[in-house]
Amino acid sequence: MKILGWKLIVPVVAAATSVVVALVATGGGSPGEQSLPTVTAPAPTSTIAPQRDRITTTTTVSTAPDSEVPAYLLAVDNGSELLPAVGGLGSVSARDQADSKIVQPWRLPPLAERQAAEAEAARAAATAAAAEAAQAAVAPTTTVTPVVSPPTASQPVSDSPPQPVNNTAVFPGRGGVGYIGDPAALTVVESVATAPAGTSWDDSRKVLNVNSPDLILDHLFIRGGVDVYGGGTTTLSNSIVEYGAGDEMGILMRGGSGALVMTDTTIRRAPGTTASVGNGRGGVQISGGHSMTLLRNDISGLPDGMQLAGDNLLVAWNWIHDLAMVGSYPNNTHNDGIQLYSGSNITIANNRIEIGATAPYSNGALFFQGSGIGNVRIESNYLDGGGFPMRFETGTVSVINNVIGPNRLYGNKLVGPAATVVEWRDNLDLATGGAVTPP
């Protein structure tokens, strides 16, 4: 049962404004098999102003007439007139010069509503067909009914339609997470003189070294990477980490450096800098077992979004996007949204991961490879891009209620023989409008 050409009009209240929303749904570090033919996904053409996503708020985007705006819930605000947006799955076209309202976060409507919309469309189609048949019936005709043998074992039988998916995933809209305040309100860290207590600044590498245990870093604009050596728990919140002028790194956790709690933080490349092909790092990279809590962060610009290994990890409500694609085959970056090497008791939930689908670079929105990966729960994420958006070579996983975006090079999943699936249900493939079949 494909979801084709269905529009849901929903009233949304943001501040004192009523906004009409239209949903149109149509049917680093990792070595991968990257030698198949090139398939290039179209790049987004708009920039979304950063505002935190809440059900009752909107994000405003300035659009030119007839421009393509990536969005799933969007309405065009033309002053006194609110017009639903029109377009396909991955983008909509703004009819006039306007501020477009994007509701955060995005979610699919409930299954019952989708089924009701499909049933109504089927009734309308049947009524139109009956009217057309009545017009064609000018004179009586003689009908000869052909004799058709029932199907035999050698005759093909048509496939049943895809099963409906009761998917209720919720995840951030683009630009809805990370640091969303005024950068001028942050304390700039870019020299020995500006390094906070408990840290030191390496000017040759443009890196802030965290040397003390249980250190809290809040409301900082760090013009470089962060290299964590201290034990205990390092907390980074409401900050911007802008790497690229020296050693290319976001947050690097050294072995034995304890736990990391990172919330509401943006990790991005400094303007005017370019990734190097030899750098396979992630925006968050660890080199040893850790406990991590990564919530509501915006990560971009390095070959991988996150490279993780450790127990008791919570990765939720993050946006990973615009990864670095440099080099030429076979010496090129291999991009993953989240690459997991080892660890157990891991939750990856409600994230938006968009890595593109460009050979030979794109590997997997989620890529698991290594020993000792156990009890990983993957739930309510939006996963788009890669050779396969989900690539599990090893590990024990539960995959529940995820949305797989339309962009991929080869297929919607790859589950290797060394991987074990505990549970698999309600995963929707937007390219087909049906369920992602269990492996």
Write out pLDDT tens, residues 100-110: 333 345 555 55
CB 29, CB 341: distance < 8 Å: no
Shared domain check, 222 and 98: no
- Domain endpoint, select from 80, 107, 134: 107
Domain end, chosen from 107, 128, 158, is at 107
383-405: average pLDDT: 97
What would the two tokens of residue 138 be? 């000018």
* 58, part of any domain: yes
Lowest-confidence region among 53-62, 118-127, 207-216, 316-325 = 53-62
Is 421 domain-assigned? yes
Residues 290 and 418 in one domain: yes
Q: Which domain holds residue 31?
A: 6-107
Nearest to 309 by CA among 249, 379, 252, 225: 252
Res. 346: pLDDT tops 70: yes
Residue recorded with tokens 């590997």: 363
Q: What's the confidence (pLDDT) of residue 50?
A: 28
What kind and span of H or E run contains 298?
strand 298-300
Whether residue 12 has pLDDT greater than 70: no
Sequence letter at residue 268? R
Is residue 130 in a domain?
no
pLDDT band at 155 (very low <50, low <70, confident <90, very high): very low
pLDDT tens for 221-241 read 999 999 998 788 999 999 999
Residue 419: inside a domain: yes
The residue ranking higher by pLDDT, 433 or 74, is: 433
Q: Are 234 and 258 in contact (CB under 8 A)?
A: yes
Say if residue 304 is in the same domain as residue 383. Answer: yes
The domain boundary residue, chosen from 53, 87, 107: 107
Helix and strand element counts for the chain (H, E): 1, 40
pLDDT band of 5, cuts 50, 70, 90: very low
Whether 87 and 180 map to the same domain: the answer is no
Same domain, 69 and 204: no
Total domains in the fold of the chain: 2
Residue 271: strand, helix, or coil? coil
Give the pLDDT confidence score for residue 139 in this predicted structure. 46
Asked, for residue 159, whether it belongs to a domain, the answer is no
Q: What is the pLDDT of residues 264-308, one digit of tens each?
A: 999 999 999 988 876 678 999 987 667 899 999 999 999 999 999
Say if residue 91 is in the same domain as residue 185: no
Residue 92 predicted with pLDDT over 70: no
